[in-house]
Amino acid sequence: MSEVDAAQLGARAEAMIKALGAISAEPGRLVRLFLTPEHRRAADLVAGWMREAGLTVSEDALGTVRGSIGQGPRLLIGSHIDTVIDAGQYDGPLGVIAGILAVSHFGGKPPLPIDVLAFGDEEGSRFPATMASSSACAGVFDTGTLGLADRKGVTLAEAIKAYGKNPDDIAKAAYRKDEVRAYAEVHIEQGPLLEFDGEPLGVVTGIVGQSRWRVTVTGEAGHAGTVPMRMRRDALAGAAEMALMIERVGRDNAASHMVATVGRFDVSPGATNIIPASVTFTIDLRDLDDRLRQSAIDTIRREARAVAEKRDLGVIFEVFHDAAAVASDGKLQQHFADAITALGHKPMRLPSGAGHDAQTMAQLCPSAMMFVRCRRGISHNPAEYASPADMGLAVAALIRFIERFASQ
């Protein structure tokens, strides 16, 4: 693969990224949520690209767009086309576009059967659960999530029907294990390590385990001017103390790559002159070591209860996402490493601190990922950026990966 070819691939990837990035629910910022009109428009655009690449297109009950070519056990290549609120353009779409461009390179005759997958839900930005699309493909979809509602009160089941699909057909989305050989995903790093080391591409060794909790703290509303400080049952003050404790737990375990985030606070009644009666907040806890992650969860629950008892508050914990850490398949890692080396670059190996569809697909088949350098490690932010040169190298490396995998 010549440098000129990689440059051409990068230019094509950039143009496709920009085309998808123009599909948004809001002017001035990128918002593309699961099972919305914007999802439909993005899915239709991707389906058109797949057909141009020689892929046969279908769509499952959760809106995953599948482009297939060849018969027999296949390599799956995929990522997602949904976004967070006020998103960057590269998180997710790059992996889908890389798969399409790689297949297109083979002129309708890839060296093995391939499916390119465009998942509609990885981020969990609309409903309080993540990776619904890939979990359906992997055969591990939790039907309990069908009752989860978005901020407007629309349940996942209702959204599926509004999208023109049938929730009863979700089971049909699952691949059989004998249909699939492996899953590969190209994704921006969403971190600074590749840029720091001056490398455009990296091989992912594993994906951290994640726990997401919803915590409700209850106190008692009161007049902000008449209830003495010593007599207050202020839910927000208690929740704030818990949030600082959660940050401390993450810092105390930073050596194991643990991170702990309180990302959302909902205060009721939320008035300037009323003592808060209740607060609901979220916890996102991640670590490569599932045992340490569980130990941190136990610590957080214990110390939060102590805060609640001290302040005469109630506290309830509800888990809405839990995913075990996943190690990338060793042989697939080596194929990616060899592909990067063949392009004249060092195959840096690094873990993923973010969750990805590969984490779910690993429950179906051997899975691996290749990271692409992104500027300053910024992601989930409009400033997110990967250069056309790096994206072109990523597609070139994916093509080499496909060739190596097919010959094993």
Domain ranges across the chain: 6-207+325-407, 209-323
Which amino acid is residue 395, in one-letter code? Answer: V
How high is the pLDDT of residue 73?
98
CB 38 within 8 A of CB 25: yes
How high is the pLDDT of residue 1?
40
- Three-class SS of residue 182? strand
How high is the pLDDT of residue 254?
86
Report how far residue 251's alpha carbon sits from residue 354's, in angstroms, rounded to the nearest whole number. 18
Which residues touch 42 (CB under 8 Å, ≥6 apart)? 20, 23, 32, 81
Rounded to 5°, the CA angle 141-370-103 comes to 80
Annotation-wise, does 286 bind a ligand? yes
**Residue 244 parent element (H or E):** helix 235-252
Count Cβ atoms within 10 A of the Cβ of residue 108 and give its class: 0-12 exposed, 13-18 middle, 19 or more buried.
exposed
A 10 A CB-CB count for 168 gives 10
The whole model's pTM is what? 0.84
Q: What is the pLDDT along the chain (408 residues), one digit of tens a residue?
A: 434 489 999 999 999 999 999 999 999 999 999 999 999 999 999 999 999 999 999 999 999 999 999 999 999 999 999 999 999 999 999 999 999 999 999 998 999 999 999 999 999 999 988 899 999 999 999 999 999 999 999 999 999 999 999 999 999 999 999 999 999 999 999 999 999 999 999 999 999 999 999 999 999 999 999 999 999 999 999 999 999 999 999 999 988 789 999 999 999 999 999 999 999 999 999 998 999 999 999 999 999 999 999 999 999 999 988 888 999 999 999 999 999 999 999 999 999 999 899 999 999 999 999 999 999 999 999 999 999 999 999 999 999 999 999 998
CB 50 within 8 A of CB 116: yes
How high is the pLDDT of residue 206?
93
Domain 6-207+325-407 falls in which CATH fold?
A: Aminopeptidase (3.40.630)
How high is the pLDDT of residue 2?
38
Which residues touch 295 (CB under 8 Å, ≥6 apart)? none
How high is the pLDDT of residue 285?
97
Report how far residue 300's alpha carbon sits from residue 315's, in angstroms, rounded to the nearest whole number. 12
Annotation-wise, does 273 bind a ligand? yes
Which amino acid is residue 36, in one-letter code? Answer: T
Annotation-wise, does 212 bind a ligand? yes
CB 30 within 8 A of CB 21: yes
CATH code of the domain made up of 209-323? 3.30.70.360
CB 217 within 8 A of CB 235: yes
How high is the pLDDT of residue 202?
99
Annotation-wise, does 187 bind a ligand? yes
CB 384 within 8 A of CB 88: yes
Annotation-wise, does 123 bind a ligand? yes
Annotation-wise, does 39 bind a ligand? no
